[in-house]
Amino acid sequence: MSTPSAAPAPEAPSLAVPSLAVPSLADATELSCDVLVVGGGTAGTMAALTAAERGANVLLLEKAHVRHSGALAMGMDGVNNAVVPGRAEPDDYVAEITRANDGLVDQSTVRQTATRGFAMVQRLESYGVKFEKDEHGEYAVRQVHRSGSYVLPMPEGKDVKKVLYRQLRRREMRERIRIENRVMPVRVLTHPDDGRAVGVAGFHTRTGEFVTVRAGAVILATGPCGRLGLPASGYLYGTYENPTNAGDGYAMAYHAGAALTGIECFQINPLIKDYNGPACAYVANPFGGYQVNRHGERFVESDYWSGQMMAEFATELASDRGPVYLKMSHLPEETIGAVESILHTTERPTRGTFHEGRGHDYRTHDVEMHISEIGLCGGHSASGVRVDAHARTTVPRLYAAGDLACVPHNYMIGAFVYGDLAGEDAAGYRAYEGELPADQVAAAHELVYRPLRNPEGPPQPQVEYKLRRFVNDYVAPPKTGAKLSLAVEAFTRMSDEIAGMGARTAHELMRCAEVSFIRDCAEMAARASLARTESRWGLYHERLDHPERDDQGWLHHLDLRKSPSGAMEFTARPVEPYVVPVAEFAPPAGPERPLGEVELVPVATAGPRDGAPTARRTAETEPGSVPASDTETGVPDVAGGCPAGASPSPAPRLRLLRLLALVEESPDLAALRPYLDDTDPAVRAAAVTALGETAPAGTGPELAARLGDADPRVRAAAAAALRELVEVLPAEPPLAAGLREALAVPDPAVRGAALDVLRALRLGDAALYAASLADTGVEVRIQAVRALVSVDAVEELAGAAADPAREVRVAVARGLAAVRTPAPKPLDPLLDDADPLVRGAALAALAGTGCPPEYAATAVAALADGAWQVRAGAATALRAAPPALAVPALAGALGDANADVRKAAVLSLLPHGAEPAARTELAGAADDPDADVRAYASRVSRVG
């Protein structure tokens, strides 16, 4: 008897993305305008508005969407360079920027921002942008730099781009401004006879269609090259600057024949460690924050945010006085609240989430700072396209504005000013009606679409990572001629690799084009750094082989341009005569000095090829130094491990590959066991991570067992996996037993993780947690306090009131108020604590435990304490005290000099609102000079 054959299984759908077809040149979309603006960020939107207001037909091209594009869309916390009449003078600002840039400034360009910036503030305000003002309606300009007050906060800075977009879409503007989103130019087209700009060629980043534009004038406003160096995180797009700023305009201006200048002067910024966003000292400093080393000492001598300041920062960071912090923990609550309201809602709104994820609070944690990757930026440094005081480049009818233009330290207001200047000057031209240069259009077409002809070629992320790793290795300061020469060789070699990149979609084409821009900028940065044989601008251009500043030979701009032969050539250009004298600098006059192409340092061999080995010229050759054979050979160390820098043997690599393949099959614990027990710690750590990803039966006890591994990588992976899986792990006895055993592991991170998981899974008891109060690790003891709160172990909690660490005692005070049946008595020792923060926390806890008369008396007395934190805590405590005791005392606290104490008094008076005396005091507080106090006092009408 035959059996019917089974129906054929349906084919699985293909996951391969069909490759985009290369469009024909003949099918290009052609556009025309009087003024073409490339980039819809800060400078671009202002350029478009101004040109349209002056009667030009404007086309605004943006490779993303104007509503959300540019650095401004990420949020802005304030204006760094507002020269507000009565608060600062333009000439003082020009002199300050000249000093900050070590004398290499075209003062006529800087003066445009100084003199036109205030009118721009008022123009933006008329659009709806909010700038902070005081009680009298005056601009609340803050002082950050020691020589002038230029910082103007923007409380609603997150909305600036929204406001600008609204202006672009006004009816009268829509008649003049055409916006084409998702169109990315790759080349400026120039007239073959006179070299003037006549348009651009590019493509649509969603459809892939080729686009050409005829224009009377072209304004480049594409932002800095922020995606140049590789961030410490290794993430391609985890940059300090907006990661879409890949140097598009730098490359387009260069290939159009424009001069660029200061490209050797890098942008390097302080940032929040691991967050890669600005620490925003510009916001914190006016509120009383400042930069300190780990001892709390201020160390910055530089008067202005500059390369010299960054050199001081880097020196401190590398010393035994590091890390470096932005100190705010000393500030009163109302100040920190104000800082948070700006930093967590405007520039980099994810900042608050980042700190929260780490359990950090500005009140108890200063912000650890670090140094950003390198980039090119005119507005925050001095590297950009050369422009004059009207934003004109050296190519006729080509303009540059914003961070792309070399107007040192121009910042946001400068970007608006130069967008305005460019739009005003360019508005006088009408659309180009001739034929676009066919050879240039064809070259742009090839640049865009060549990745489609090789879809299986190396993907953009791999090539870009390699390129930017070379930038970090060879171009980032401190610089040497040898490293810079290696960089040039690497970037030249990578031209072929970039040409071989593969792509299938229009989005991938955009990324591939960006890599070509980054490569151009990297080579410009390396060659320009080689050409300037001195050190200048502190960390921005520190040459170890030319460590001194040479004003005699190098107080000149260094311009670079593309020669007719396609080579990168340089010119030393004298500094224009100062319009504001600065005593420290006397730039020499004279003609430009052609330098030609830069000469590379020989790097193919280490010393002469036929030379004998020579002795090292360092202290290591002195008696008592470590022999080179002990440090530079492949001899294993005494522990028997691999020598530093050695690659793992083929066998561990093979086992790792097998493990990775196994993970795809959702293995059970038995299948993972050989890897969990592997002799190589890298394999064991990977196996633990795989266990956390797949979570087969028995995962919890197995992870707990791995907390005792001899290798810290394995222990860290196990702790991370346990915390990640805590919501899904069965609270079973074997897991509890493993976690209890982990409390004896010498690694405090392991002990803290074990307590955390025990608490979360309710697998511990008061005795177990109390034992950890004797742990040597502060964080472990804090976890123990949290765990004791979870089981309402008041007596054991109270036993930690004498902990030597203030952080633990503060946690105990808060914990005693968080148990299910709180009582004030256990707080007694904390109320007498020598530390004001602990006393303040204990007093505040009385609001939760209850504040009977004897404790109310303590709180009343504490209202006279010298520490504002204690007084605020005392006022908070009286919230729970009998009204007869609380109201008179709180009435007195409403006169406290500290606004946070007054705020606490108002919040405590509200629960007593039924008392006529309390309502009277609250009514009086409605006129308090502090907004928070007034706001809470106004709630009196809702109580009682």
User: What is the secondary structure of 101-153 as a DSSP string?
Assistant: TTT---HHHHHHHHHHHHHHHHHHHHHT----B-TTS-B--EE-STT-EEEEE
Tell me, what's the pLDDT at 932? 64
Cα–Cα distance, 38 to 256 (Å, whole number): 14
Average pLDDT over residues 193-199: 97
Question: Confidence band (pLDDT; 50, 70, 90) for 190?
Answer: very high
Distance CA 500, CA 829 (A): 72
DSSP 577: P
pLDDT digits (tens, 9 = 90+) for 59-111: 999 999 998 888 777 666 566 778 888 888 899 889 989 998 999 999 999 99
Asked whether the beta carbons of 905 and 877 are under 8 A apart, the reply is no
Closest CA to 163 of 116, 109, 207, 126: 126
Residue 39 has pLDDT above 60, yes or no: yes
- Looking at residue 595, what is its pLDDT? 94
- Residue 40 binned pLDDT confidence (cut-offs 50, 70, 90): very high
For 796-829, the pLDDT digits (tens) are 999 999 999 999 999 999 999 999 999 999 999 9
pLDDT per residue as tens digits for the range 383-398 = 999 999 999 999 999 9
Write the burial class of residue 110 (CB in 10 Å: 0-12 exposed, 13-18 middle, 19+ buried): buried
Mean pLDDT of 277-302: 75
Single-letter amino acid, residue 616: R
* Short-list 821, 819, 886, CA closest to 851: 886
Q: In this prediction, what percent of the chain has a pLDDT beyond 90? A: 65
Would you state the structure tokens that stand for residue 851, as one six-digit string? 């504040």
Cα(522)–Cα(377) distance, integer angstroms: 13
pLDDT at residue 633 in the model: 33
Check whether 607 has a pLDDT greater than 80: no
Q: Is 156 helix (H, G, I), strand (E, B) or coil?
A: coil
Give mean pLDDT, residues 765-784: 94
Question: Tokens in use for 918?
Answer: 């309390």
pLDDT of residue 286: 67
- The reported pLDDT for the residue numbered 935 is 73
Task: Name the nearest CA neighbour of 560 among 536, 595, 589, 587.
Answer: 595
Instruction: List CB contacts of 921: < 8 A, sequence separation 6 or more.
Output: 887, 890, 891, 894, 909
Residue in the block written with tokens 């060879």:
474
Q: What is the pLDDT of residue 154?
A: 66
Structure tokens at 322: 């590091």
Taking residues 351-370, what's their average pLDDT? 89
pTM above 0.75, yes or no: no
pLDDT of residue 75: 64
The pLDDT, as a whole number, for residue 944 is: 46
- Whether residue 632 is predicted with pLDDT greater than 50 in this model: the reply is no
- CA angle (103 as vertex; 563, 425 as ends), nearest 5: 60
pLDDT more than 70, % of the chain: 88
The pLDDT confidence band at residue 629, using thresholds 50, 70 and 90, is very low
Residue of 171, 163, 157, 73 whose CA lies nearest to 127 = 163
Ranges of H-type helices in 532-618? 551-554
Please confirm whether the linkage preceding 323 is cis (ω < 30° from 0): yes
Residue 374 has pLDDT above 90, yes or no: yes
pLDDT score, position 282: 63
Q: What is the pLDDT of residues 523-564, one digit of tens each?
A: 999 999 999 999 999 999 999 999 999 999 999 999 999 999
Reading phi first (left if > 0) and then psi (alpha if -120 to 50, else beta), residue 792 is in: left
Two structure tokens written together for 378? 């005119």
Task: Please report the pLDDT score of residue 137 as a whole number.
Answer: 62
pLDDT at 289: 77
Among the listed ranges 141-150, 626-635, 697-706, 875-884, which one has the minimum average pLDDT value?
A: 626-635
Please tell me the predicted confidence (pLDDT) of residue 640: 33
Q: Give the Cα separation of 328 and 323 in Å (integer).
A: 15
Tens digits of residue pLDDT in 491-514: 999 999 999 999 999 999 999 999
Greatest mean pLDDT among 608-612, 668-672, 724-728: 668-672
Q: For the CA atoms of the chain, what is the radius of gyration?
A: 32
φ and ψ at 9, to 5 degrees? -70, 140
Q: Predicted confidence band at 624 (pLDDT cuts at 50, 70, 90)?
A: very low
Give the pLDDT score at 555. Answer: 96
Say what the pLDDT of residue 519 is: 98
E-strand ranges in 548-661 read: 556-562, 568-574, 593-596
* Number of other CB atoms surrounding residue 275 within 10 Å: 21
Q: Which residue has the higher pLDDT, 602 or 159?
A: 602
pLDDT reported for residue 646: 43
User: Can you read off the two tokens belonging to residue 573?
Assistant: 């250009």
Q: Per-residue confidence at 145, pLDDT binned at 50, 70, 90?
A: low
Q: Name the pLDDT band for 336 (thresholds 50, 70, 90).
A: confident
**Which ranges of 427-547 would DSSP assign to H, the alpha helix?**
438-449, 460-470, 481-499, 506-531
Q: Which residues, at least 6 apart from 14, have a Cβ–Cβ distance to it below 8 Å? A: none
Residue 715 has pLDDT above 60, yes or no: yes
pLDDT at 130: 75
Going by pLDDT thresholds of 50, 70 and 90, the confidence category of residue 284 is confident
Per-residue confidence (pLDDT) for residue 634, from 0 to 100: 34
User: Average pLDDT, whole number, for the chain?
Assistant: 88
Look-up: residue for tokens 């530390």? 835
Find the range with the poorest average confidence among 123-132, 433-442, 614-623, 839-848: 614-623
| Alpha carbon distance 385, 405 (integer Å) | 5
User: For residues 511 and 330, which has the higher predicted lDDT (pLDDT)?
Assistant: 511
DSSP for 782-797, written as a single string: HHHHHHHHHTT-HHHH
Q: What is the band of 351 on the pLDDT scale with cuts at 50, 70, 90?
A: confident
Give 158's pLDDT tier (boundaries 50, 70, 90). Answer: low
Q: What is the 3-state secondary structure (H, E, C) of 639-703?
A: CCCCCCCCCCCHHHHHHHHHHHHHHCCCCCHHHHHHHHCCCCHHHHHHHHHHHHHHCCCCHHHHH
Q: Which of 286-290, 339-343, 630-634, 728-732 has the lowest mean pLDDT?
A: 630-634
Say how far apart CA 530 and CA 252 lie, in whole Å: 22
Across the range 153-170, mean pLDDT stands at 76
